[in-house]
């Protein structure tokens, strides 16, 4: 157990032992917040059935109230307390990908307060695979609403240290479950309409979803915020990002004072202040797992600009490019 920053602060980072998880569950039951590891990113959790506790999530993150949260459950048996209906497509997807990085948008149950769903009649639900997340939900005895544990719109946290650095003054406990294995948020599929719709690319590739349920419509946008991660600017560092498809696009004068983020090694990188290579093995899961951590390091380096090399939008590449594009979108 260690205290973050000064000894006067409340936050405690604890290895996710049985005792620490029990302490976290007690905090959840009394209406407090707990940050915890999942396989995707670290979540900032509250009792999903307690609107006052959920309101604290929005306050701590400075998250707009129109952006709904994901409710995390420990087992399929808990689903009936969160969702009113489980359509056929959702049942098939849950059978294949739960527990795991897949969120299903379903008609909501009455027990879920409107603040969780931003007033929508649907609720986003996920059954995580990380042992810490599931143990915390089980010990709390209730579903946990949890967005990423970071200030709204900034790079998502994939270690306990990331959470502590940004929210350490605001929450009493972080359950440290190690680095997140997936490193990108969950794929979100809406199952409330006549055809399943991809609302957010994530840890389960769209091709894998389609192999289970057939064609999936990709949300064209313009219909409002139906799930987390749909705003044009999100996952963003403070340093401006430019996405490039070839290093030849970056002239020598632009490289001075800039950092370069590469998915894997390639020649022609001279002149940059720093070069970060995500995956020597050239594997997209490695790129995804390391993306946010690398973006944080480069953001802290004092560079004038970050350049990020694009990847093909196939498999996890779709989710990686979604994060890069939203991170590179200028604030309005």
Q: Are residues 88 and 178 in the same domain?
A: yes
Q: Decide which of 218, 249, 280 is a domain's last residue.
A: 218
Total domain count, the chain: 2
Q: Is the dihedral of CA 115, 137, 292, 181 positive or negative?
A: negative
Q: Are residues 271 and 156 in the same domain?
A: no
Q: Are residues 85 and 35 in the same domain?
A: yes
Q: Decide which of 218, 249, 276 is a domain's last residue.
A: 218
Residue identified by tokens 């649907």 is: 122
Return the closest-CA partner of residue 230 out of 270, 202, 272.
Answer: 202
Q: Helices in the chain by DSSP H: which ranges?
A: 18-29, 51-61, 88-97, 114-117, 131-140, 160-167, 206-213, 252-255, 284-299, 317-328
pLDDT at 222: 60
Q: Are residues 7 and 105 in the same domain?
A: yes
Assess if residue 232 is contained within a domain.
no
Assess if residue 224 is contained within a domain.
no
Distance CA 216, CA 232 (A): 22
Segments forming the whole domain that contains residue 126: 2-218
Residue identified by tokens 């998250």 is: 63
CA angle 42, 157, 38 (to 5 degrees): 20
Q: Are residues 184 and 255 in the same domain?
A: no
pLDDT at 4: 41
Q: Are residues 207 and 259 in the same domain?
A: no
pLDDT at 307: 98
Q: What are phi and psi of 106, to 5 degrees?
A: -130, 160
The length of the chain in residues reads 332
Q: Are residues 261 and 198 in the same domain?
A: no
Distance CA 76, CA 60 (A): 30
pLDDT at 7: 39
CA angle 36, 42, 48 (to 5 degrees): 65
Assess if residue 223 is contained within a domain.
no
Q: Are residues 140 and 80 in the same domain?
A: yes
Report pLDDT digits (tens) over 124-142: 999 999 999 999 999 999 9
Per-residue pLDDT in tens (0 to 9) along the chain, 332 residues? 444 443 344 568 889 999 999 999 999 999 999 999 999 999 999 999 999 999 999 999 999 988 999 999 999 999 999 999 999 999 999 999 999 999 999 999 999 999 999 999 999 999 999 999 999 999 999 999 999 999 998 999 999 999 999 998 899 999 999 999 999 999 999 999 889 999 999 999 999 999 999 999 998 766 677 777 777 677 889 999 999 999 999 999 999 999 999 999 999 999 999 999 999 999 999 999 999 999 999 999 999 999 999 999 999 999 999 999 999 986 54
Assess if residue 78 is contained within a domain.
yes
**SS3 of residue 168 by DSSP:** coil
Q: Are residues 92 and 156 in the same domain?
A: yes
Assess if residue 227 is contained within a domain.
no
Assess if residue 71 is contained within a domain.
yes
How many Cβ atoms are within 10 Å of 211's Cβ, its own excluded? 10
pLDDT at 331: 54
Assess if residue 235 is contained within a domain.
no
CB 224 within 8 A of CB 119: no
Q: Are residues 32 and 169 in the same domain?
A: yes
Q: Are residues 23 and 133 in the same domain?
A: yes
Beta bridge partner(s), residue 83: 108
| Measured CA distances, 66 to 90, 261, 292 (Å) | 24, 32, 25
pLDDT at 332: 40
Assess if residue 231 is contained within a domain.
no
Q: Decide which of 218, 252, 277 is a domain's last residue.
A: 218
**SS3 of residue 83 by DSSP:** strand
Return the closest-CA partner of residue 170 out of 306, 321, 5.
Answer: 5
pLDDT at 228: 78
Which CATH number belongs to the domain containing residue 261 in this structure?
A: 3.40.50.11030
Dihedral angle of Cα 219, 58, 112, 68, to the nearest 10 degrees: 0
Which region, left, alpha or beta, applies to residue 5 given φ > 0 means left and ψ of -120 to 50 means alpha?
A: left
Pairing of strands 144-145, 43-47: antiparallel
CB 293 within 8 A of CB 237: no
Beta bridge partner(s), residue 123: 106
pLDDT at 12: 84
Beta bridge partner(s), residue 221: none
Q: Are residues 33 and 135 in the same domain?
A: yes
Beta bridge partner(s), residue 180: none
Which CATH number belongs to the domain containing residue 46 in this structure?
A: 3.90.870.10
């Amino acid at each position: 157990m260690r205290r973050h920053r000064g000894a006067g602060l409340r936050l405690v980072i604890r290895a996710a032992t049985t005792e620490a998880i029990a302490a976290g569950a007690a905090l959840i039951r009394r209406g407090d917040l707990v940050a915890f590891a999942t396989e995707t990113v670290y979540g900032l959790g509250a009792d999903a059935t307690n609107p006052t506790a959920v309101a604290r999530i929005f306050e701590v993150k400075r998250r707009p109230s129109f952006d709904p949260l994901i409710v995390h459950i420990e087992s399929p048996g808990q689903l009936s307390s969160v969702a009113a209906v489980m359509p056929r497509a959702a049942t098939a997807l849950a059978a294949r990908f739960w527990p795991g990085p897949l969120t299903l948008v379903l008609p909501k149950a009455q027990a879920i307060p409107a603040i969780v769903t931003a007033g929508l009649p649907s609720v986003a639900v996920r059954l995580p695979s990380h042992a810490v997340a599931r143990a915390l939900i089980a010990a709390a005895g209730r579903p946990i609403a949890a967005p990423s544990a970071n200030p709204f719109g900034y790079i998502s946290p994939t270690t306990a240290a990331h959470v502590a650095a940004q929210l350490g003054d605001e929450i009493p406990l972080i359950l440290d479950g190690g680095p997140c294995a997936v490193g990108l948020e969950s794929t979100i599929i809406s199952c409330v309409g006549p055809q399943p719709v991809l609302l957010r690319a994530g840890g389960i590739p769209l091709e894998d979803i389609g192999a289970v349920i057939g064609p999936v419509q990709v949300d064209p946008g313009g219909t409002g915020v139906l799930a987390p991660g749909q705003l044009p600017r999100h996952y963003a560092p403070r340093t401006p990002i430019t996405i490039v498809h070839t290093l030849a696009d970056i002239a020598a004068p632009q490289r001075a004072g800039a950092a370069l983020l590469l998915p894997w090694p390639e020649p022609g990188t001279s002149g940059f202040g720093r070069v970060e290579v995500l995956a020597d093995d050239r594997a997209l899961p490695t790129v995804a797992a390391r993306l946010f951590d690398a973006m944080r390091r480069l953001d802290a380096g004092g560079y004038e600009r970050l350049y990020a090399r694009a990847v093909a939008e196939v498999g996890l590449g779709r989710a990686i490019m979604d994060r890069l594009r939203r991170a590179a979108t200028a604030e309005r």
